[in-house]
Structure 1
Amino acid sequence: MQSETAGESANHPSGPGETACEPASQRILIVTDAWHPQINGVVRTLERLSEELEAKGCVVEMLTPQGFRSIPLPSYADIRLALVTPWHIARRIRRARPDHIHIATEGPLGMLARRFCLRNGLAFTTSYHTRFPEYLSARAPVPERWSYAWLRRFHNAGGGTLVATPSLAAELAERGFLHVKPWTRGVDTKHYRPDRQQVLDLPRPIFLSVGRVAVEKNLPAFLDLDLPGSKLVVGDGPDLERLRAAYPDVTFVGAKTGEELADIYASADVFVFASRTDTFGIVLLEALASGLPVAAYPVTGPIDVLGDGEGGALLEDLQRAALEAVGISREAARAKALRYSWAACADIFLEHARAAHCGNKPGVVDKPFT
């Protein structure tokens, strides 16, 4: 085996450029900087994806910050950045001997895995989960165009950038991203369902929000609404204590998971999604599966999930949308969620993984593969 400095050889079962189309469905390495103890859509997506891939006979290994020293992300201590070297990543990839590598995030692990793949001529795919340019500019004076230029270079080196919605795919293509591939998300409709026990003792109607309590989620747009009944916020994040103090009439219960979260969904009356910057919003599907009509802005994520508006109300006037959603049937809401499954999410992932090994030339940055 060559040393890292002599090319960081992957010791791959077949040489660069010799990988067949089919092995992408066998041994898969998923590289992600987002992992437990984070509670967010990226982590939930990758958890369920790996479960479905294993159910289909794949061997899945996760390369995550766990097991590495890490430091908190400035201004967001809940997110940890792994302190790793190229040698660490090379060793892990050699040990995994993957038939396909998927880089899910653009953090330290993702950057070093990308570097390894390019240096060794290994095909890989990426996914675009988070609007970091918008999130960063909300916290620091960094122009979005700078961040998008870096992200474009990062993703265009791979054999495909997987995105969750058609509207996001179109947007990224307009920004110069190449090889953008449609993906999807899923929801466990047996776990999230309307007939669960009622656990909320609040004045009705109950307007619910679930997600990180952070600036990018635009929560004040929901909290400032003049609505009857009650407002309930489920989630943790850097803005929790500040918003709890600023809105004493709103019930904040912190992060919830599992059975407790599913019961809360089923006990509320309307799900209000105030974010304008999510790339999808898995919480939308969880709410809909629970029979909860959605009120949201007509932006990427909500417009892709709700489409014609059945199951929710999409309006620039969020208050009007929330009030209209009260009158939408729980059956119509759940019908929207029944169109999604994690099995389909895994099937599409495998299609794109195989395609990355069928004629694409790895290592080309910001240019079409030839």
Structure 2
Amino acid sequence: MSEQNSLQKIEKYNENKVVRVSQELYQLEKIRWRMSTLGYRLLFAISQSVSSIEEEILPDVGFEKQSLFKYLGLDNNNDKYNRLAETLVEVGQNMLQFATRKKNGAQVWQGYTWITAYNLAVDEKYVQICINPKVRKFLMQLNKYACIQPKYYLKLSSDYQNWFYPYFKNYVKLHQWKVSIEDLKNALELTDSPTYDPQKNKNANERFLSDVIGIRINEKVKAEQRAAKAEKRAAKLIEWDYVIDKKTQKPVGTLAAITQHTDINVTASAVKTGRSYTHLVFFMSEKTATVSNVRKEKDASQNQAEADMGKRQQTRKRSGKNQDMKSIMQDLFSSEPSAQAIPNPAFVPMPEKEPKRFNYDEDKIKEMAKMSKMTFAQMVEKLKLLHDENGYYKMA
């Protein structure tokens, strides 16, 4: 271990303390990082532990061993020391990989290890970990980050669920995320798998949708595809159902688990280009039951301020249909999802009491600026956008 660094001891784990994961990690076309469920958990624990450190030199982190076993779900495992040792090796060997270009167009490949050393001993109280200072910015609190809490992600049981969850948290304010299936395969390191290779399996993308994403086509989607083909138009986006376990008849898979166990709802629709599915559109919304009181008070105060300035929208009587949707949305907050994918409020929006506020990320603003032949700054000024603490731009 580092002889110069101090040791920050972690005696007890706080399941409510926010882990801030940099949005810079979620650029599919540039960055790759993939681990097992235990690997993700350990990395998030390291991130949480160093998030408030302001010293220029990062201290080594010392986790109280029994607390770490419990956090990782290994406290009752007879092979817990070997499992923890394997996880430390995994975090040390699975590098953060970049593929970027210089201003002159030259391709650049870079790789950084997350940790540079560790010490795990049966007769010592602490597991010591030395963090690579070069990945500091990805582990520390930045202007752009996704906030995740252990009480949610510790319930996720697969590496796909743990990989996708921070992505969805990153995009939840935008409510939708469109991404190509090939980009996802590349980021998940599945491009070499014959199961998901269209050249070796004609149903490769369908298998990816069911096995990795956990969605299946339904009759509404099929009917819309037939109608779109007959009318020679693009098919409308309709949410697919979650995959159902044949034995239990309950939803399973990545999206169903994230909706069941975390603070967000996620559904998806697959987009066809020609005869093949090429893109996915994810629909995300926060569960109102999980929004903190501080956040609710802040939103209420902001809404009241707008109302006082005469911006209140005319009130409209809710229809019975929308009342039913409210009940459906509340069902999403239960501990167990229904046998069918429930309409996501991000996909079927309810009438709003206050004017809708749009959130934009930098890529969207750059795209809009390019189309309008404007600079990034000019577009921000034209739309009268404010930069919030989460890294998004929103209308003033």
TM-score (norm 1): 0.27
Q: Which has the larger radius of gyration?
A: 2
TM-score for both structures, normalised by structure 2: 0.25
* Higher RCO (CA 8 Å, separation ≥ 6 residues): 1
| Greater fraction strand | 2
